Structure 1
Amino acid sequence: MHVPDGFINAPVSAAAGVVAAGAVAVSLRGARKELGGTSRAEGHGGERTAPLAGLVAAFIFAVQMLNFPVAAGTSGHLLGGALAAILVGPYTGVLCIAVVLLMQGVLFADGGLTALGVNITVMGVVTVVVAYALFRGLVLVLPRTRRSVTIASFAAALVSVPAAATVFTVIYAIGGTTDVPVGKVLTAMVGVHVLIGIGEAVITMLTVGAVIAVRPDLVYGARGLTAPLKLRVDGELVDAAPVAPAPAPAAARTGSKGSGTSRASARKLWIAGLGTALVLAGFVSFYASASPDGLEKVAADKGIDAKVEPHAAADSPLADYGVKDISDARLSGGLAGVIGVTATLAVGSGAFWAVRRRRDSAAAATGSGSGSGSSPNSAETV
């Protein structure tokens, strides 16, 4: 659903840019808390969340290269707002999508540069807000189980895509550069993006479920989720009685050993995620559908692309997800995908580390000024 230059007029594009900039500014503030986690004792510190956020951005970039067929002559791809919000939090999720869209627009000429604000608003803000609101509502009413989280992620992702299509249609109604009846655009956009939403929901559910299966504590939307210990009694599984907290000194010793194991586990997950993203972008993307995506198809069928403008980065060495001067399509596309994943990971991780460090610096300054830094318990609170 990458909107190119020329679909939306300059004033509305500028207004959308202001909205997007405001959303990013708010998200930068909100992400400081998300990237800091809850407490070091619970293992949710920003030292794990920040690298995971960069990985999520890189993974979304990779999966967006995998267009899947949804109808005759039409394809779709992951938008990623729901996935990012559930894995790393809504504020950080907006930043993840913004990083992906920026890299796609600047390096790969995908999505207009003057339309960047529209794309961030539609693909980032709308999908994240709608998906996370629905996800949280479902998690509150469903049983607190891992299966409920995956079910909620499916529903949230499914709804977020046609919601984004609807908001795009509203923006087009206000500032579209062509004279096409809005009702026709809305019907076509929502219709095809409901189908794309099914693919989005499946990808989101499978990814969230895979991470929850190995490290539920690293999934923002599943924090606090605990599964009771099961014991087999007379051939039946029953919940074990809750165990009383260990004394403080023993807990500290156990925490030291456990934190090392936990960090190793998180590192393995990060490596596995990065490897998956590189394989998807560098190899599997060659087999993606070549059909136009939902927006491109609707634009061509309804004529809203009559005034589309050439991309400002059309001469980029990586334009259209291929490396310039490499004639082999498989090699060219694979290298472009690997470069894109690597660049997105680097930019995203750097940005999230900077946000986290700024938060830690502010917290340290506040603690120093108030004198609370001398408290032995203050180090356990983030």
Structure 2
Amino acid sequence: MNELALHIQNGVLDAPVSLGYAVLAAVTFGFCVVRGRRDLDDRLAPMAGLVAAFIFAVQMLNFPVLPGVSGHLVGGALAALLVGPWVGALCVSVVLIVQALVFADGGVTAIGPNVTNMALVGTAAAYALIALLLRVLPRTPTGLAVTAFAASVVSVVAASLSFVVQYALGGTTRLESYGLGEIAMAMAGTHTLIGIGEGLIAATTVVTVARTRPDLVYALRGLRRDAVAPPAPARPVPTPGGVA
């Protein structure tokens, strides 16, 4: 089952599924560009470049998960926390495209499915949980670490299950004696372990940034704006004689 991984290679999915997901990824990428431009400011623009470079560098480092199985940071949760869901999805997409075209990490014909799984589904799942947890947990280093960890695990597992859907639609690699349910369980189980490793990296990174420059953490800035209630209107103070 080592051919079934998040970095899909050429030939794992058939042409119609690969093409369909390429169109979906391109349309969604364009939507993220439009929405991301609204978020870009003097802080977010350079931060986006740093996040993309960090994800690219860390993805080159694999860590052991099981005998014969290794994993690396995907980056959706980390990017969503630091630069938001729209720009975060763009950062991960650019990393995946460069990896496929320059380093052959992931097939060229599978760029659409890979971007869909890791950049779009993974980042969306991560930010949905981030938006929930940071409204429940205290906005402290501990709360931020728990959020980053949980969002990373959910992000990686969601991306792996998205691949299972793609494989069900057009997988060309046949696995003897494995049904689709068994493949889904194997992918989810393995990528839960990978997500734990990613969660530790993401939590450490985000907490480090938040301790020094909390204004650079997109999620905290957005929640801080939402959490501040508008001031109550001033009530006139009566003066003697009944004249306000």
Bin the TM-score by the shorter chain. Answer: 0.7 to 0.9
CA RMSD, aligned part only?
1.3
**Shift >3 Å, 4+ stretches:** none
Deviations 1:14-67 (A, max 9, x none): 1100110111011001101111xxxxxxxxxx1221111011001000000110
Displacement, 1:225?
6.8
Identity across matched positions, percent = 54
Q: How does 1:206-225 map to 2 (within 5 A)?
A: 206-223=204-221
1:100 aligned onto 2:105? no
1:69 aligned onto 2:64? yes
Contact 1:90 1:132 in 2 (8 A): yes
C-alpha change, 1:114 and 1:223, in structure 2 (3 Å) is same
Q: How does 1:234-273 map to 2 (within 5 A)?
A: none
Q: How does 1:43-54 map to 2 (within 5 A)?
A: 46-54=41-49
How many pairs align? 216
**Equivalent-residue separation in structure 2 for 1:67 and 1:131 (angstroms):** 21
Calculate the TM-score normalised by the size of structure 1.
0.55
Q: What does residue 164 of structure 2 align with? A: 169
Q: Residue 38 of structure 2: which of 8, 11, 33 is its match? A: 33
**Equivalent-residue separation in structure 1 for 2:57 and 2:23 (angstroms):** 28
Contact 2:134 2:223 in 1 (8 A): no
Q: What does residue 24 of structure 2 align with? A: 19
**Equivalent-residue separation in structure 1 for 2:222 and 2:193 (angstroms):** 33
Q: How does 1:336-375 map to 2 (within 5 A)?
A: none
C-alpha change, 1:160 and 1:204, in structure 2 (3 Å) is same
3-state DSSP class of the match of 1:114? helix
Q: Residue 204 of structure 1: which of 187, 202, 205 is its match? A: 202
Displacement, 1:224?
5.8
Contact 1:149 1:221 in 2 (8 A): no
The structure with the larger Rg is 1
Displacement, 1:222?
1.1
Q: What does residue 243 of structure 1 align with? A: none
Counterpart residue identity of residue 158, structure 2: A
1:188 aligned onto 2:183? no
**Equivalent-residue separation in structure 2 for 1:221 and 1:114 (angstroms):** 34
Q: Residue 109 of structure 1: which of 104, 111, 127 is its match? A: 104
Deviations 1:332-380 (A, max 9, x none): xxxxxxxxxxxxxxxxxxxxxxxxxxxxxxxxxxxxxxxxxxxxxxxxx
Q: What does residue 137 of structure 1 align with? A: 132
Q: Residue 55 of structure 1: which of 50, 55, 62 is its match? A: 50
**Equivalent-residue separation in structure 2 for 1:27 and 1:72 (angstroms):** 38
Higher relative contact order (CA 8 A, sep 6+): 1
Deviations 1:310-348 (A, max 9, x none): xxxxxxxxxxxxxxxxxxxxxxxxxxxxxxxxxxxxxxx
**Equivalent-residue separation in structure 1 for 2:104 and 2:161 (angstroms):** 24
Q: What does residue 120 of structure 2 align with? A: 125
Displacement, 1:75?
0.6
**Equivalent-residue separation in structure 1 for 2:136 and 2:211 (angstroms):** 22
Calculate the TM-score normalised by the size of structure 2.
0.85
Contact 1:157 1:200 in 2 (8 A): yes
**Equivalent-residue separation in structure 2 for 1:161 and 1:197 (angstroms):** 5
Deviations 1:276-322 (A, max 9, x none): xxxxxxxxxxxxxxxxxxxxxxxxxxxxxxxxxxxxxxxxxxxxxxx
